[in-house]
Structure 1
Amino acid sequence: MSTSFAPALHAAREAAAAQNYPQGTLYVVATPIGNLADISLRALHVLQLVDAVACEDTRHTQGMLRSYGLERPGSQLLAVHQHNEAEAAAGVIARLQQGQRIAYVSDAGTPGVSDPGARLCAAVQAAGLRCMPLPGASSITSAISVAGCVPPGQTDGGFVFAGFLPTKNAERQTAVQRLSAEPRCTVLLEAPHRIHELAKALAVLGERPVTLAREITKQFEQISTHAAQDLPAWLNGDATRAKGEFVVVLHPVAVHQDDGDAERVLRLLLAELPTKTAVKLAADITGGNRNQLYDLALQLKRADQDGDEAA
């Protein structure tokens, strides 16, 4: 064991051992995405405590556990990945029903978020058993936190997670066209051997800022923001820029403000209909953005309530 993690294991026991860890529970454990030091104290404690570890790749997980001094016999590592997730869930459920504690980890990051684990959790919960999340590293939130995405003219715009786009060129182009109509921050994932193709597809977004974050938390981490139309040239400028796993963040764009027709129609509909119905019809009638119209509807309702109270 690397001596650097011995104090961490001691700290994990001191910080987390007194907490409640019910039997018959699936512990969904986030693991580092590149830097082993990003493991949480509670994750270290649970990985020591559980009866078995379900994982995407048993060899990879054994190596990770060994790095922390938590090596387990092969019989305690259960392969649960995208190709056997549904079938393997039955074995995990049987163990949980016997009162065992099982941890689930993907190869890196938070399970169930563009990684296997969602079907396993769905099956466990359908069986009336508990899933307990242990939060931690995520490339998605890590990239967003430093991309500096500020919605133009807004205070809060949220974000959309789109994951991996289709690999076929025509389907990818169609997907990008759909994304071009989405004004909110949008997060994509891409592999190094397809990043050039994705950059070419995104170039049609013109001046829209795009942040490329690669190798997050690793030695050669690089986070850089460019206009979408400049991405292909930037990637071609240095071969190392295309290496590693990518998180691609499309920055939010200013929503086109019409001449007030959308708001006028929305006001008329809100006077007669429930909010969601009014918003849907206003969007269909005017072509306005449904999310923006919904936010506007809430503002109008709050303004009406404030006016009533003041009166």
Structure 2
Amino acid sequence: MPKPDILQLGPYPAWDLPALEARFSLHRAFEAADTAAFVRARADRLRGIATRGEVGAGRALIDALPNLEIIAVYGVGTDAVDLDAARARGIRVTNTPGVLTKDVADFGVALMLAAARGLVGGDAWVRSGAWAARGLFPLQTRVHGKAVGILGLGRIGAEVARRCAAFDMDIAYTDLAPRDDVPDWTFVRDPVALAARSDVLFVTLTGGAATRGIVGRRVIAALGPRGLLVNIARASTVNEAALLDALESGALGGAALDVFEGEPALNPRFLALDTVLLQPHQASGTEETRKAMGRLVHDNLVAHFEGRPLPTPVI
């Protein structure tokens, strides 16, 4: 029996490939010199797409594949997948939730600690000889006991809050409604009000049209000149122009960012700022998590073509 043909839109770690190649014929569009021609030459036989969260699958690609049955996303975010186009055709979409939640939360808290305590600057202070020549590193800001806001109390947001509780932080959150399954954290419906009461504001929202630019000028102004913004969600949730203006003017104290519009070609204005900690979209970047994500992509594809329930369906 022939293997189902799958269009692979982005690279996966080498350890994922043997299991995928044993069950499927992978067509690596990301290696093609002319992606459009590569897809056209195989369009009629492609039954699945294996993609990445930041790559997704747009309407034009979905429309170009008449026999497409499933889109398997390596990642949690599906905002780069045209879900309406998939839904209209009855195409299944899966992602890899749950397995990366705690690593992303760990990383978010690490960003908070590194930014507040100047860990990167402290390392440079030692390596440059400034410690010996100029003395102690400038004083930084404590974390414990501060007020933290969690903008979006989903899986990752809740794990961030639990970790912040260990630092005796005053925790507040926004969500669609107050949660009755969490400790006595404070529910604040309005993002501006949440920012106003926060020393640190974590962005842990899902992406998409509903959350685009939700961290805009009013939220940033409310967080203020001593506030810290930590984004481990989607770049689209933050108005980058407003963020840069606030960082440059001192209207916002600082930011720790793992995601950027147009990454990896981020806005060069970020590079000139010493009040922002920049990371290369690596919050889920552990071997353990990435192996679990790869297994879920594989398991979703296998389940679909064997006619079994999908482990982690989106639609």
Bigger Rg, structure 1 or 2: 1
TM-score (norm 2): 0.32
Which one has a larger percent helix, Structure 1 or Structure 2?
1
TM-score (norm 1): 0.32
